[in-house]
Amino acid sequence: MERRRIRLSEWQASEVEVSADDAMLLRGGPGEISVDRIREGVYRVVPSHWVGSVALGEVDVVIQPKVGVQRLFHLLSYSPRLRFGRAQVDLEAEDDITEAIVGAFLSQVVAAIRRGPLMAYRYTEESAQTVRGRVRLLDQARRRFDMLLPVEIAYDEFTVDIDENRLLKAALRRLAGMRLRTASLRRSIGASLDALGGVADIRYDSRTLPSIRFTRLNEHYESALVLARAILSASSPDLRHGKVATPTFVIDMDKVFEDFVFRASEPHLHLAGMRWRQGKASALDEGSRVRIKPDLSIWKGKSCHFVGDVKYKRTKFGENDDLYQAIAYAKALGQKSVMLIYAQTARQVEHVVRIDGTQVLLRSLDLGAPPAALEAAVKALAEEIEELAGSGAPQAL
C-alpha cells in the first residue's frame, strides 16, 4: 500500500491532517518547522528555509523550494566542481527535490564507476601474524616487548577501499535508508552498492567528511563526490520517537543562497591583491571573546576592505535583527558601510546610522528571474562590491 504524501512549500502555511505522534516528530525534527494544533488530527504547518523530505511514521512530507527544482539545480551548479546535464535528470518532469537530487547523484555515480571503481594505494598499519611490507620497530618494541607475534607492520595496498569510494558508498547507504517512491532509483542504489562491495562502510557527518585532492587519476569522480558530500551534509540524523525511525533529507536554502552569491560573484571581481572570503571569522571586541563570522568579506593581508552578509529572505526595508548584525560587522571591521544581500527586497535601500553615519546597503537578487537576468544582476552586484572594496578606509586587525 502506497504511503500518503504531504506536499509543502517553504515559508508557506498549510493545514495538514497527521497523527499526534507524527506532528510531534515533525515539530521536533530537522528544518525548523512550525507545527500548531488547530483541532484533533489537523495542524497548521509552516516550513522555514529547509527543503527536502521527512519520512514520518505514517506519512511522507516533501518540502519544495519556492524557486522550483530546476532553479535550485541552477543554484547548486555554482559549486566549482559540479556539472549537471539535462540528460542526467529530467528536471521538467521531476517535482520532488529529494528524488531529483538522488537521480542526479546516481547518474554521476554510474558514470564514475562504469569501468570499475577507482583503485589507489592506501597506507595501512596493523598487527599481523605474518610480515608484510615493513615492520614498525618502535611500535613493536612498545607494544610487543619480548614477543615475536603478532608483529606491527605497515604497507601500501592497491585497493578500492579508498576515501573516494568510501564517500560514495556512505552517501548510497544514506539514500538506501530513505523511502524513495521511484523503483528505478531504488534499483540503481542497490546496483551501485554491489559495485562498491569491496569498500568499507564508514559513517560520516558534515564534520568528518575527508578532503579529496583531485588529479587526472580521479577527476572523473568530481561531480559524484560533490553531490555525495552534499547528501551526507544535508541528511539529518534519523528522528526517533519510541521505536519509529524517520529517514530525512533536508537542504538549508540559506546556505545554498550564500554559496551561490559568493561563487557567482567571484569571476566578476578584480581585486588586485585582495582576497574574496566566505565566512572568515573575526572578533567583535578587543578581548576577542565575542566572535563574528560575516558571510562575505574582502581582505588585503590583515586589513578588511569590505564586509557583507547574505539573507535568504524577502523583506521591504531589512529586518531589525539583520540590520543590528550588519552594523556590528561594520563597527568590528572598521568599515563605513556594510551590505545586506536579500533574496528579494522592495527596492534598493540605504540606511544611515544616526550620529556616526555608517551605511547599511540593502541589495537583492531575484532568484525567480531568467538565468541571463540573474547573471547580469550578480555581475552588477559584484561591480558595486568591488567599488566599495576600493574606496573603503580599511582598518588593520
Lowest-confidence region among 225-229, 243-247, 249-253: 243-247
Rounded distance between C-alpha atoms, residue 279 and residue 276, angstroms: 10
* Residue 371's CATH number: 3.40.1350
Q: Which of 194, 185, 209 is nearest to 105 (CA)?
A: 185
Residues 383 and 322 in one domain: yes
| Closest C-alpha among 344, 328, 339, 340 to residue 388 | 339
Mark whether 99 and 84 lie in a shared domain. yes
In this structure, what C-alpha cell is assigned to residue 294? 560575516
In a domain, 224, yes or no: yes
Cis bond leading into 150, ω under 30°? yes
Query: Could you report how far apart the first and last alpha carbons of the chain are, in Å?
Result: 63
Strand intervals (E) in 28-135? 34-39, 42-46, 50-55, 59-64, 120-128, 134-135
My answer on whether 339 and 388 are in the same domain is yes
Residue 4 to residue 84: CA distance in whole angstroms: 31
> Residue 260 falls within a domain, yes or no?
no
Domain limits for position 71: 4-114+166-252
299 close to 308: Cβ distance less than 8 angstroms:
no
More confident: 133 or 110 = 110
DSSP count for the chain of H helices, then E strands: 10, 21
pTM: 0.77
In this structure, the answer to whether residues 154 and 53 fall within a common structural domain is no
**262 falls within a domain:** no
Same domain, 98 and 222: yes
pLDDT tens digits, 362-389? 999 988 888 889 999 999 999 999 999 9
Q: Tell me the per-residue pLDDT of 43-91, one tens digit each, with 9 for 90 and over.
A: 999 998 888 888 888 888 889 888 888 788 888 877 654 545 433 444 4
Helix%, strand%, coil% for the chain, nearest 5:
35, 30, 40
The band of 1, judged by pLDDT with boundaries at 50, 70 and 90, is low
Q: What is the pLDDT of residues 254-266, one digit of tens each?
A: 988 999 999 999 9
Q: Are 177 and 45 contained in the same domain? A: yes
For 251, the 3-state DSSP assignment is strand
Q: How many domains does the chain have?
A: 3
Co-location of 208 and 62 in the same domain: yes
Residue 311, beta-bridge partner list: 342
Distance between CA atoms of 113 and 92, rounded to whole angstroms?
Answer: 27
Same domain, 109 and 125: no
Same domain, 228 and 293: no
How far is 263 from 78, CA to CA, in rounded Å? 6
Residue 301 included in any domain: yes
Highest mean pLDDT among 48-57, 119-128, 164-173: 164-173
> Are 64 and 126 in the same domain?
no
Question: Percent of the chain, pLDDT > 90?
Answer: 42
pLDDT at 241 over 50: no
* Cell numbers linked to 147: 614477543
Q: Which stretches of 65-150 are assigned E, i.e. beta strand?
A: 120-128, 134-135
Question: Minimal CA–CA distance to 172: which of 119, 225, 115, 238?
Answer: 225
Helices 163-176 and 222-234: crossing angle, nearest 10°?
Answer: 50
Residues 132 and 195 in one domain: no
Query: Pairing state of beta strands 239-241 and 42-46?
Result: unpaired
Mean pLDDT of the chain: 84
Q: Give the pLDDT score at 99.
A: 85
